[in-house]
Structure 1
Amino acid sequence: MDRTGLSRLVVFVTVAESGSFRAAADRLGIAPSAVSHAVSALEDSLGVRLLARTTRATRPTEEGAQLLRRVSAPLGEIGQALRAVAEPGDQPAGPLRITMPRLAADEIIMRRLPQFCAAFPRIELDIRTSDRFEDIVLGGYDAGIRLGESLEADMIAVPASPPRRAVIVAAPAYFARHPPPEHPRDLAGHNCIRRRFDSGRIYRWELEKDGHALSVEVKGNLILPQQELILRAAVGGVGLAFLFEDTVQAEIADGRLIGVMQDWCPPFDGFYIYYPSRRQMRPALRAFIDFFRMSRGA
């Protein structure tokens, strides 16, 4: 492929990742008309439509998605090589894009972020938060942070937190009106505060006892997008909530929340830093992993 074709391919991938021509133009530092021209020229040369354009978003067609899957990894390798050249003497430097849910950013990154930035001032850390499970290769990320149970088998993963546990809780005011549930079947008679992810999917409560796992589609008159909002609603007496134990410890300790069905809430894998297998890891990514990975004594 000639250089013109390669540059058009880079533009196409950027549009597919960004979701719009204007956003891609901003990332590439060129005019939107130049982005449109490059994509159109690539489509003409291949004889297929690669992007479906609507008034709300731009998404890859089936042919475009197939091409994206084939070229994202090689282009990522090229980007890694270019950034590695910009890190003379193996000193951590350059852009580093990481995706993670908001909870991971709050609990793992933000607490130690000042120390990391002070230790590695030449790293340009770009954190994106989303509850969607991002394909870091297709998304152009260097790494991501997710719960261990969500990781794909072909990813390298290192622990960034201890095992976690979710608990079912409600306020004393709620239990004054409703008997505490003792079994998953009892949840059908309760007002459960549900959570909707960025993808639009509503979370099904995942419970387990003695090796018997259940995925329960609970019901309730309130749906919220974030754990902190669900916590506030639970403290207010709205209904039952299913929340990470360490986020409600204070509320349980002072009696604002009461835990139930403890035997159906076992621990599970915590957060992991995950990244694709590459022959040569950039010093910037190595610095991030070494800094934020869970220490053996944790």
Structure 2
Amino acid sequence: MTNGTRNDEIIRTVGSLPPGELAAFLAVAEHGGFRAASRTLGQTASALSHAVAGLERRLKVKLFHRSTRNVSLTEPGRRLAERLMPALAEIGLPVEELHEQATSLSGLVRINCDANAAEQVLMPLLTRFMKLQPEMRFEIRSEGRMVDIAEGGFDCGVRAAELVPDDMVAIPIGPDQQHIVVASPAYLASAPPIDSPSDLALHQCIQLRMAGGSIYRWEFQRRGEDVVMATSGKLIVDHSRLLLAAALDDGGLAYVTRWMAADALADGSLRQVLDDCTPPYPGLCLYYPRHRHLGLGMRAFLDFLRAEGSSRRTP
């Protein structure tokens, strides 16, 4: 059967289906779950589930895999989502009747990310995009721990490239990152010399406790080899901004991003040590599930991010 014949069948079928059921299907497909879709359409998750079940009965096909932890499109569901929007346009159904978020640039995009990533890279990109598309809405949930974005009802996430799950589509955003070791001039004046990562054992190293409970270990490169250090110190904090504040108050050595310490380095409030042991590494990525159907608003945002990335690489 040719693509044209398949599309003709879809067009004939779609014309006879209740718009509410189509709207429910598109919303769940776009947002990856009934709970997230319910926030978009202003309906309960139960109501959307009943609507999708009705559509499945009419089409005599299962459209979603459902579990207590995740909702994903079946192969027939994915094909339907990919063809539904062109089919609807061809038969002339008003877009707004079905799913505004799937067919216009006035939808809601929910993003899960690290707070520093949001401040450094994501927010400037969002504000520029929202000036271009003023009807688009974004909700950002910043937290330190990694979450399943599909289960959590998020459209996408932003994390360091090395943390992005393998089954996700990742788009690099922002520059390379760099963690560096800094301290105040007053602390360094009375502390032992620091010539290599092993010298950290003689110093007060301000500790960062991660969301999962572990203490963050400091990573270096020494003579071409990776070195991971378990440091020690009298102060433990749970946010990298507190690391910086403690270092500024002569509290010891802090392991922070160069971006975060830039102002303090520029005005001399902090000094960097072990400069040759902390090279840059790949930066942040925005990522989303590989097989999720994307609405036009989300696709426009992804195109914008790719264009931004291309412009940064152009001399």
TM-score by length of 1: 0.71
Unaligned runs of 5+ in 1: 4-9, 18-23, 35-65
Note the C-alpha offset of 1:246.
2.0
SS in 1 for 2:298: helix
Deviation string, structure 1 residues 78-106 (Cα, Å, up to 9, x no partner): 9x96xx75138942232211100001111
Distance (whole Å) between structure 2 residues aligned to residue 14 and residue 283 of structure 1: 19
SS at match of 1:215: strand
Normalised TM-score (structure 2)? 0.67
Moved more, 128-137 or 286-295: 286-295
Q: Displacement of 1:261 after TM fit?
A: 0.8
CA distance in 2, matches of 1:240, 1:192: 5
What amino acid is aligned across from residue 228 of structure 1 in structure 2? R
Larger Rg: 2
Match of 1:223 in 2: 236
Q: Could you tell me which residue of structure 2 aligns to residue 52 of structure 1? A: none
* Distance in 2, Cα, partners of 1:164 & 1:89: 34
1:184–1:216 Cα contact (<8 Å) kept? yes
Match of 1:137, SS? Answer: coil
Counterpart mapping for 1:18-97 below 5 A = 67-69=67-69, 71-74=70-73, 85-87=98-100, 90-97=103-110
Match of residue 309 from structure 2: 295
Secondary structure at the counterpart of residue 230 of structure 1: helix
Find the aligned partners of 1:112 and 1:251 in 2 and give their Cα distance. Answer: 25
SS in 2 for 1:255: coil
Q: CA separation in 1, counterparts of 2:250 and 2:113? A: 30
Runs of 4+ in structure 1 off by over 4 angstroms are 27-30
Residues 192, 202 of structure 2: 8 Å contact kept: no
Cα deviation per residue 1:28-80 (whole Å; 9 max; x = unaligned)?
A: 877xxx9xxxxxxxxxxxxxxxxxxxxxxxxxxxxxxx9434x43249x79x9
Contact 1:73 1:138 (C-alpha < 8 Å) held by counterparts: no
Which amino acid is the alignment partner of residue 241 of structure 1? A
Amino acid at match of 1:227: S
Aligned to 1:151: 164
Once the two structures are TM-superposed, the CA of residue 248 in structure 1 deviates from its matched residue by: 1.4
Q: Which amino acid aligns with 2:276?
A: D
Partner residue, 1:171: 184
The answer on whether the counterparts of 1:68 and 1:138 sit within 8 Å (CA) in structure 2 is no
Report the alpha carbon displacement of residue 182 of structure 1 after superposing the two structures with TM.
Answer: 1.5
**1:207: how far off?**
1.4
- Give the distance between the partners of 1:279 and 1:175, measured in 2 at CA: 52
RMSD: 3.6
Counterpart in the other structure of 2:111: 98
Distance 1:140 1:254, change over 3 A: same
What runs of 5+ residues in structure 2 fail to find an aligned partner? 1-20, 22-27, 47-65, 86-97
**Secondary structure of residue in 2 paired with 1:278:** coil
Asked if 1:192 is matched to 2:191, the reply is: no
Match of residue 254 from structure 1: 267
Aligned length: 247
Whether 1:162 and 2:175 are equivalent positions in the alignment is: yes
